[in-house]
């Protein structure tokens, strides 16, 4: 026993040395990882902003280039009469009225900043402020300009507030027939709608916030933590969720600030110190040491100044959440000490006592006994389970404790409640839902022994056209029932479609975690509160632009991308990163499946999938029922039979057993 004690002591010393070295190395890694995450979130937000600005710029340029618009603008600029709203001006306004989706205002300005034409007559003849006029200078050098949010009384001289909400503007040059820039055409958008939603959709993690701010440290977007801001008196009590030009990035007042203005936050000071620097350089920074934000909460953050937009963009997250791994790391160091004691004590604790302390056995959740984990997601785990009394197998989805926030619980409950409304044979059946001991949320659903479409193609290659039509018809049949109840799935992808073994290729659509009910206000509110989720490759263009705006035609687009994958075994767009993928989905026409499929694709099926992938929702099939009718025509010419299905599964099963053993599905 003496030798054993010496060995135990040596192990204790080695564990102590390794633990201390690991602690300092891991602490540095956590800081580096957080810096990278903050920069990545910031870059993704700037890319999204660039895409949106590019879209409204394209609309404005297209309007300014219309020959009739140019002719009327040239006549208006050449007029020697004072600016007024006459028939010619009204005709020009009507000509431009539908040129930019979402715009609520438009105007025309000369090089001196005088408003020559406006949708609102009281603006005509007035001049914009010197600050805005300076921003407009590039327009008269034939360059478009995005004007950040301004109050209208701040943007236009001697004008009382015209709108209750600040506006952003896209200004583009209008050229004469001789090619000279003669005026600036502007379209105005509510800053608290499309512009603000770009930032709301990207709020990271549980406490993270991404926002824009101007050179006076004023917030240009809505804030996430409106309740706290109202309690501190930073926002009016009646404000729902605002912050656009109504809140400044200053630390909350304290007793020391009673006689003066509170200082700007550390991030605002760092960003504004560089806001006037060389515009050819990228000005950005990361603050990894906790500082107080405008709510007085300790946060870490990153910023980037965008001179082309005359504003900055920042991301912040509470330090407690950002460095949560350090808390566990500290616990781990303490655990090393405990481990040392355990190693020493293990020489003396009887085995029977250890068995009593750590009993073996399967975990139970409610009336279910967990048998094996079969899946894992961002907020939940999926287990193969068996009911205690019915002895029926089930797939049990359990919400992770780390995701047990009010927001995720609401999403989890919505998922099971909406899925339970559907009773289609091609939709996964929901058995049960509850709250187990210890606060574990779970729901039980039908267990499918088979392969997901992702596993089917990745392991066995593309499928024949007849089988693809057979599988897609069942997916559309499930969606048809959901759409009839105004329920949109919004996350159709190969991983969410199961094919059962030994059943004639029966399809089950699952994972209703992103379901949206078009008739329920609480669903729309929750959609706006959540980040953009789902698999970008299978998202429709309109869902990428606005996560809350997608309807049933977004599912039809996803089915088209799914069909392309089944027939070709490849991604719809082969890109190097998500930014390029987003650009392709928004702007690059989808390829035809027949161009990449190794096997023949019937023309009617090829055309159907190509229509599904149209950028404009109105160009897609009108409904899942319309798709079913076309797929029935395909199957009438070349059916996928039960005999073919059974033969394929026997061959696939033999191939799996001939390898390293049958993989878990």
Inform me whether the pLDDT recorded for 483 exceeds 60: yes
CA 293 to the chain's CA centroid: 25
133 torsion bin: left (phi>0), alpha (psi -120 to 50), beta (else): alpha
Instruction: Decide which of 140 and 13 is more confident.
Output: 140
Tell me the C-alpha distance between 147 and 142, whole Å: 16
Note the pLDDT of residue 565. Answer: 96
Inform me whether the pLDDT recorded for 325 exceeds 90: no
Residue 638 sits at the vertex; the CA angle it makes with 632 and 642, to the nearest 5 degrees, is 90
Q: Confirm if 394 and 386 have CB atoms less than 8 A apart.
A: yes
The contacts of residue 346 (CB under 8 Å, 6+ apart) are none
Tell me the C-alpha distance between 595 and 587, whole Å: 19
- Residue 535's pLDDT band (cuts 50, 70, 90): low
Tell me the C-alpha distance between 504 and 507, whole Å: 9
Tell me the C-alpha distance between 657 and 662, whole Å: 5
- Residue 58's pLDDT band (cuts 50, 70, 90): very high
- Residue 226's pLDDT band (cuts 50, 70, 90): confident
Inform me whether the pLDDT recorded for 14 exceeds 80: no
Inform me whether the pLDDT recorded for 9 exceeds 80: no
Instruction: Decide which of 661 and 487 is more confident.
Output: 487
Tell me the C-alpha distance between 567 and 457, whole Å: 9
State the catalytic residue, choosing from 310, 491, 505, 555.
Answer: 491
Tell me the C-alpha distance between 415 and 394, whole Å: 17
Residue of 191, 188, 209 lying closest to 200 (CA atoms): 209
Q: Confirm if 159 and 123 have CB atoms less than 8 A apart.
A: yes
Give the CA diameter of the chain. Answer: 109
User: Model confidence over 243-300: pLDDT tens digits?
Assistant: 788 889 998 876 555 557 889 999 999 999 865 555 555 689 999 999 999 999 999 9
Q: Which domains does the chain have, with CATH numbers?
A: 65-193 (3.30.450.20), 194-321 (3.30.450), 369-447 (3.30.200.20), 450-658 (1.10.510.10)
Note the pLDDT of residue 259. Answer: 59
Give the phi and the psi of residue 315 in degrees, each rounded to 5.
-125, 135
User: Model confidence over 348-394: pLDDT tens digits?
Assistant: 555 444 434 444 445 788 889 998 888 877 677 889 999 988 888 99
Average pLDDT rounded to a whole number, residues 154-177: 86
Lowest mean pLDDT among 80-84, 313-317, 570-574: 80-84
Tell me the C-alpha distance between 488 and 550, whole Å: 8
The contacts of residue 263 (CB under 8 Å, 6+ apart) are 250, 251, 257, 269
Note the pLDDT of residue 360. Answer: 44
Instruction: Decide which of 147 and 359 is more confident.
Output: 147
Q: Confirm if 558 and 492 have CB atoms less than 8 A apart.
A: yes
Tell me the C-alpha distance between 221 and 244, whole Å: 5
Tell me the C-alpha distance between 189 and 652, whole Å: 56
Note the pLDDT of residue 531. Answer: 40
Instruction: Decide which of 41 and 533 is more confident.
Output: 41
Average pLDDT rounded to a whole number, residues 31-46: 90
Inform me whether the pLDDT recorded for 303 exceeds 60: yes
Note the pLDDT of residue 107. Answer: 92
Note the pLDDT of residue 555. Answer: 94
User: Model confidence over 414-473: pLDDT tens digits?
Assistant: 777 777 888 899 999 888 888 877 677 888 999 999 999 999 999 999 999 999 999 999
Strands, DSSP E only, in 237-297?
283-292
Instruction: Decide which of 588 and 550 is more confident.
Output: 588
Q: Which two tokens stand for residue 192?
A: 């608290």
Q: What is the mean pLDDT of the chain?
A: 83
Inform me whether the pLDDT recorded for 3 exceeds 90: no
CA distances from 350 to 11, 360, 468 (A): 21, 17, 61
Instruction: Decide which of 66 and 352 is more confident.
Output: 66
491 annotated active-site:
yes
Inform me whether the pLDDT recorded for 12 exceeds 70: no
Average pLDDT rounded to a whole number, residues 209-232: 88
Inform me whether the pLDDT recorded for 83 exceeds 60: no
CA distances from 457 to 174, 463, 478, 606 (A): 52, 7, 21, 19
Inform me whether the pLDDT recorded for 53 exceeds 60: yes
Residue 175 sits at the vertex; the CA angle it makes with 170 and 178, to the nearest 5 degrees, is 170
Instruction: Decide which of 330 and 534 is more confident.
Output: 330
pTM (predicted TM-score): 0.50
Tell me the C-alpha distance between 614 and 347, whole Å: 70
User: Model confidence over 399-414: pLDDT tens digits?
Assistant: 876 666 777 777 777 7
Bridge partners, 283 (sequence order): 305
Bridge partners, 384 (sequence order): 372, 395
């Amino acid at each position: 026993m003496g030798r054993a004690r010496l060995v135990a002591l040596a192990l204790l010393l080695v564990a102590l040395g390794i633990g201390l070295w690991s602690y300092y190395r891991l602490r540095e890694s956590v800081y580096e990882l957080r810096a990278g995450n903050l920069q990545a979130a910031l870059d993704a937000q700037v890319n999204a902003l660039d895409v949106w600005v590019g879209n409204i710029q394209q609309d404005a340029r297209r309007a300014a280039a219309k020959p009739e618009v140019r002719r009327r603008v040239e006549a208006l600029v050449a007029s020697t009469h004072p600016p007024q709203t006459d028939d010619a001006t009204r005709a020009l306004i009507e000509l431009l009225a539908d040129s930019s989706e979402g715009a609520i205002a438009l105007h025309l300005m000369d090089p001196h900043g005088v408003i020559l034409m406006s949708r609102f007559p009281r603006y005509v003849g007035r001049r914009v402020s010197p600050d805005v006029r300076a921003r407009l200078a590039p327009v008269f050098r034939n360059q478009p300009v995005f004007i950040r949010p301004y109050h209208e009384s701040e943007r236009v001289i001697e004008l009382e507030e015209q709108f209750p909400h600040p506006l952003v503007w896209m200004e583009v040059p209008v050229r004469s027939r001789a090619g000279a820039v003669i005026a600036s055409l502007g379209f105005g958008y509510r800053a608290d709608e499309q512009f603000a939603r770009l930032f709301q959709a990207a709020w990271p993690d549980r406490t993270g916030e991404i926002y824009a701010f101007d050179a006076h440290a004023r917030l240009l977007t809505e804030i996430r933590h409106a309740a706290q801001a109202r309690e501190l008196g930073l926002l009016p009590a009646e404000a729902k969720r605002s912050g656009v030009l109504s809140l400044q990035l200053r630390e909350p007042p304290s007793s020391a600030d009673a006689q003066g203005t509170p200082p700007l936050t550390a991030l605002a000071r760092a960003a504004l110190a560089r806001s006037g620097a060389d515009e050819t350089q990228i000005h950005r920074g990361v603050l990894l040491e906790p500082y107080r934000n405008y709510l007085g909460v300790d946060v870490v953050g990153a910023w980037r100044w965008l001179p082309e937009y005359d504003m900055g963009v920042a991301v912040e997250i509470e330090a407690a959440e950002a460095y949560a791994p350090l808390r566990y790391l500290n616990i781990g160091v303490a655990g090393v000490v405990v481990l040392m004691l355990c190693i020493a004590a293990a020489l003396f604790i009887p085995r029977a006592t250890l068995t009593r302390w750590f009993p073996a056995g399967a975990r139970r959740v409610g009336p279910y006994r967990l048998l094996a984990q079969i899946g894992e997601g961002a907020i939940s785990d999926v287990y193969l389970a068996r009911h205690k009394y019915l002895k029926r197998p089930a797939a049990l989805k359990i919400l992770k404790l780390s995701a047990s926030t009010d927001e995720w619980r609401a999403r989890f409950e919505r998922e099971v409640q909406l899925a339970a409304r559907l009773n289609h044979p091609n939709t996964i059946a929901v058995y049960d839902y509850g709250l187990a001991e210890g606060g574990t949320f779970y729901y039980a659903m039908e267990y499918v022994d088979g392969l997901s479409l992702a596993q089917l193609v990745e392991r066995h290659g593309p499928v024949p056209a007849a089988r693809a039509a057979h599988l897609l018809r069942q997916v559309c049949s499930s969606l048809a029932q959901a759409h009839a109840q105004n329920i949109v799935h919004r996350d159709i992808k190969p991983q969410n479609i199961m094919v059962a073994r030994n059943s004639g290729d029966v399809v089950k659509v699952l994972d209703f975690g992103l379901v949206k009910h078009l008739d329920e206000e609480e669903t729309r509110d929750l959609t706006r509160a959540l980040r953009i989720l789902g698999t970008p490759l299978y998202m429709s263009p309109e869902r990428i632009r606005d996560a809350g705006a997608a309807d049933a035609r977004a599912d039809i687009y996803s089915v088209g991308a799914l069909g392309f994958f089944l027939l070709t075994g490849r991604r719809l767009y082969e890109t190097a990163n998500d930014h390029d993928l987003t650009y392709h989905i928004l702007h690059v026409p989808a390829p035809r499946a027949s161009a990449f499929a190794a096997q023949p694709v019937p023309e009617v099926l090829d055309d159907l999938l190509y229509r599904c992938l149209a950028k404009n929702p109105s160009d897609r099939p009108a409904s899942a029922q319309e798709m079913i009718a076309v797929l029935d025509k395909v199957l009438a010419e070349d059916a996928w039979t039960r005999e073919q299905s059974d033969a394929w599964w026997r061959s696939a099963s033999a191939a799996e057993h001939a390898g390293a053993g049958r993989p878990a599905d």
